[in-house]
Structure formats: structure tokens, C-alpha cells
Structure 1
Amino acid sequence: MRQFLIGAFIICALTATVCSIKCMSCNNYYLSSFQNCTGPTVECDRKYDSCGTSYFLKLELYEKKQHTYETGCWQSEDCNKTLRMTALGLQLTRISSCCNTDNCTPPETFFEPQNSTKNGVLCLTGFTDEKSIVPKYAMACTGEETIGYIYWYITLVVILFFYLSCISVNSLVCPVCYSVIDSCVYRPVQCEGEENVCLTESIWTRSGNKNKLEFIRRCGKAAECSRVGTYRSNTKKFVINTTCCDSSMCHPPVPTLPNQTSAENGMACPTCFADNARQCILDDPLNCVGNENRCIRYLKEEFFENKLTIQSFSGCTTESICGSGSSTKKFLYLTKRNFKTVKMHVTCSGSGRLNIPFRFYPGFLLVGLRIIKFLL
């Protein structure tokens, strides 16, 4: 019996020696180099036959990076593989390498450039820190991304569903936010329809003795990029400038508001302003200043948290404001969780000379009226 037990012990020891491998184990975040990941040596379970290294890169909002290096006991079928997943505002990449001797150092791995060529596959997408998610956006897959995937990472959920047919989709993603200073914390938003640029606009408003600055990043149309100038009534004045770029998650520079002047230019327009009304009652003519050479009438509709507010306005404006026409803009407002939609219905006409009596303005407007209305 004693000899049997000794023999069994020797067989088990030999089996363990042959079937197990010893590997260094570590798991660290935000490392700048593969060699920085060091840890204790562990004896692997017999199901593991290799020492492996995994390099995980999480790229949020296309600029905030998180690196994770992990080494330890691996199975050979998991070695030397690359996994890449993309969701709206998020990219996950994981690559691995292995070696198969005790305490060996797996070769350092490197990320290959991502193929950004669209491949015709459309996926529903989204990510959240909740336990479940209903995808609200679509994105065009690129390179070899051809299947849907559900991925859980701690509290992170990324969902990509495979779509069975190729559909033309707006793949532009823009930073979207709102602030009352010249910067804001943004979130990526998939653009819709004919929106083909990422747009930043600064709007300065003066009402009586009160001034207000609005800074907005959003999706927009290229025609809006030329919107710069003023529009002014007898009680309110707006100064606006816009900048644009046309690649996903690009950041247009902060717009500089145009210079203002109080020098009258000899032109005049009927003027009025009213809240919660689709039309305002025209007052005495307003003397235009600077390069204000057009008369404007607009109706603004704001939708936020199931509430609608309306403003109507008439006064002087600049050529570029009229040239940009009507618009619809959508941006994350205040809480950064809810969208606010603002529709501007713009009508422009030529301005009149000051020596034209005001009673002739209605006829003048009917003759010179030009409607610019591009509802988005």
C-alpha cells in the first residue's frame, strides 16, 4: 500500500509538471508601456497551456482613452487575436499575444490603423451605464465590421445589431451641447437627414438692459455655415456667428461675434416683437444700421420637455442671415439629457429708404417679398 501511494504521488507530480505552466500575472490600468505591467508568478490550472498578454483600449468620445494591460494564464485558442467594436461615441479594441514556456514574456502587441471605409452594413447602436438599452441611433459599419455584437464591460453596455441589408445612412457624428459661456461639455450625436456638418454657433442677445450669450454645438447644414450678422427689432437685438467642419467629432473653432455699429445707413424696416404670439403688431419703422440692408420677419418655435414656446419678430437684418434661410436645430439643453428643438421660419424683403412714409410699407413688402423657407 505504501509503495502504491508513493507511485500515485509521483504520477500526479509528473502530470502537474507536464500539464501546467507558470506565468506572471498582472492587471493594470492607464499604463504607458507594456513592460510596466509586472506581478507575481502563478502556477496555472492545467486547462491553460500558454502565458498570454491582453491589451485593451477604450476610446470614448473619440478622444478620451483608457488603456488596460493584463497578463496571466491563457488558452492557446484565445491567443494572437484582435477584436474591435464600435458604437456611437465609443470604440473598443482588444489584442492578444502568447508564449508557451514558464515565465515567458509574450511579444508586445501593436494596434493596426483602423479601416474607416464604409462597407455598406448598417447597425443600430448605443451604449449606457444602465442594465438594459434601447438603441436609438444607426451607424455605418467600416472595414471588417460585419456582425452585430452585445458587449458587457463592468457597468458598460454596448449594443450593435446586425442589419441584413445595406442602407444609405448619415454616418456623421457631431459633438452636441449647450452653454451660456463659450465652451460646453458635449455628447456625440448621430446626425440626421441632410445634416452634413458639425456646427458651432455663438448667439448674443440684448433685451432692454439684459445681455445673454448662448453657445451651441450641434449637427447642421452647410448652408448655415455662412450665417453671421445681426437681426434687430425695436426691443431686441441678436448677434450671431457660426463655424463648421465636416468630419465626425470634429470641433469647429469658437465663433467670434462680428463688430457692431450704431451708424444709421439710411434704410428702415417695420418692427415689432412678441412672446407667445405667431404675429406681432408692427410699430414705427426701425432705422437700420451698419450693413443691415434687409427686412426680416421670423416665427421661432421652441420645443423642450413637451412644451412649445413661440416668438414673433420683425426688424432689420443682414444679407447673410436672409441667405441662410429658415432652419431647424436640435441640441442637448441644460441637463444634457433632453433635446431642445428650435425652428426658425424666416421671411425677408428689401428695406425701404427713410423718406418713404410708413403707410406705404405694407405695399412695399408685398411687392418686394421673398420667402426663404427651408424647413429641416
Structure 2
Amino acid sequence: MDATAAAISTPAALVLEDGRIFRGTSYGATGTALGEAVFATGMTGYQETITDPSYARQLVVQTAPHIGNTGVNSEDAESRRIWVAGYIVRDAARRPSNWRSERSLDDELVAQGIVGIQGVDTRAITRHLREHKTMRAGIFSGDAAQATDKELLDSVLASAPMEGARLAEEVSVDEAYVVEPNDHGWDGEPRFSIAAIDLGIKAMTPVRFAERGVRVHVLPATSTLEDVKAVSPDGFFMSNGPGDPATADAQVKLLRSVLDEKLPYFGICFGNQILGRALGFGTYKLRYGHRGINQPVMDRRTGKVEITSQNHGFAVDAPLDGATQAPEERYGRVEVSHISLNDDVVEGLACLDIPAFSVQYHPEAAAGPHDAAYLFDRFIDLMADTKSAADGAKNTTDSKTEDKK
């Protein structure tokens, strides 16, 4: 019996913390996986999903029924490894069929020790989570699945919740690295240089900057203001990432120091929540989160609706009724620039008196959609405007000094 056939015959169970149990068979590695059960609604891009660091400590339910058809390859991974804690699918492909495939998804899950389950009704699981909220869960297969239902549930209830989880430092790089524009199709000298804090950054994010002529210094999550200044950036960026933003005190402190320096800022996802906290707003946990590549968002400045890629379980608690004074008054006025059309969740912040903005979704989205790619250009324009204003002020000061002489 080959490995795939053996997995199909190996019993497995998905146990939710409210006691609901879904039974299927093993997919990927066998054993135990504990985490928060969430659902992702994308019809494609499963390799990008499982390698997104924002999914750390989460058991991902794919609502699309057929998973693994196109296999996996070495080019489409969004980070150095698979980050999902466990994987839940309905119909797993028995063998991949795509010219870019290098190996099967099942083999990749086994190789990286990711425990999964197949043959379960993922639509029913999704509906349950939507109606009752995301919750702690466990996947048990092989010998682990032989325990009683009570023992399995006790294991789930003993696991850590996502509230209060500090995970950015766990998924971040240990050493800084640089992504050069010339390596990604840019012809000529870099236009700008930015410091990007890796809180769980996806590989496509620095690539999107580099394609536009921006040199990206990717720095660890534990970086200080001195580390940022050491690379002499024209702008500052904070990435997506996992965990509860209420635990990101160090990153909030760093961002406030950057904002005080008037360095242009752009944040994505976790970076949006950190900007919200830096401005003095709170954050809260969503009932079931936004995950998938089909989330509608309105840009309130233009009225344009974007179909976006998202992956977050927390949101910023900011007023939706126009410009307001930031609770941290030294940062001036701020407005909610983007909003979810599904549930009115804050999807973006724009500061009106300092050069800073952020969005909750993923404009770098691979494999798509690309409706929000313009945000990279908006940040470049913000850096150009800030630099032009600084040069103008310097020239005025130099002229006055010369006149006094």
C-alpha cells in the first residue's frame, strides 16, 4: 500500500472546543495538531495560504472542495516554510496535474510535519465557525485518534487561545537582509530605500517594492529605532503577521518613535493594527475573521470597490464618521480610509497631519487579486512628497543663512 492509500485509510478527527467532532482520514503527517480553527475562502492559491506566516498556530479549513490539484513548487511559497498548524480539506487530489508542479501537496505536508485531515464536510465546518465564531480545535490522526472523545476535547481545551498570543517574534527572521530592485526587473539606481519590519512578512511584499525601484531592508521584529536609522531609510514599513496586536507593545513603541521622526510610514495587516494602536486606538478580536482572496473593500476617498486578499482575526476600533483627532494628540487628525463592505470593519487608516497610512488587507497578493497594487505607488509618492518638502525647507534655511552672511 502506498503512502497516499495508507493515509486515506487512517482515521482522523477534527475536534472543536465546543465539542463538535468531524471525522475523516489522515492527510499529510499523522499525529496531533492544536490551534485556532479558521476558514479561508480562496478558490486558488493554497500554497500561498499555507506558507503565509500570518496563519501560524491556526488550523486552516479550505472552503474550496478540491485541494492539491496543482501540487506545490519552489517558486510560489510566501516564506521559508509552511506555517499553518494543521490543514483541513474535503477532497484531496490523489496526484497533482500541472506543468509547474514539483511534488504533491500531501508529500510536502508530510515532509514538513503538518498534520491534516481530509474527507470532512468543509462547508459544514465553515458554517459552524461562522455561526459560533472561530475557536480552539485539534486534528488527531493515527494513534492520537484512538483516545476517547473526552480525552481529545480535553487536549483542545488545554491549548492556548489566540487572544494574548505573541507570535510575530516567532515567525520573523533572525537576521536582516536586503531585496534589491535590480534583482526584480528595475533598470537603474534605486529610487528610494525603506526599512521593513518583518512581523511575518510575505515574500511578495518586498518584491512589489523592488519592482518599483525601492531597495528594501528587511529587519527582524525585535529591531529598534537605532536599527532602523542605521539603514538610512526614506520610509518605514511594517508587515502582516500573526497573533494578538494587543501584545505588540515593542512594535507600537518603535512606530511611535518613527512617527515622531516624521518618517513616511506604510503598514499592511498587522502593520495596520500597530498604526491604530500607535495613534491611541484599541483593537479587538473578530468573530470569525477575514480570510480569503475575495473580500470586498471600499476606498472611501474614491468610492472604488476593490476585491482584496485578507488574512486577519483582529481589527482596529476606530470611528468611521470622517476625520477625527487621534487619541495620541501629537499625531493630529486621522480618518478611516477603507472599509469592509461585508461587515463595516476598518480596512485602512490615513493620517492627515503626518505622512502615514495603512491597510488591513494584502495589496501584494499572490496569486491575486491585484486591485490594491496602487498602494505601493501611493507610498512611493508619499516618500517623494516628504523628501521634496524636506529639501525645500533645507534650501530655504540655507538661503536665509547665506543672506545673513
TM bucket, shorter chain: under 0.3
Higher strand share: 1
Higher helix share: 2
Larger Rg: 1
Q: TM (normalized to structure 2)?
A: 0.25
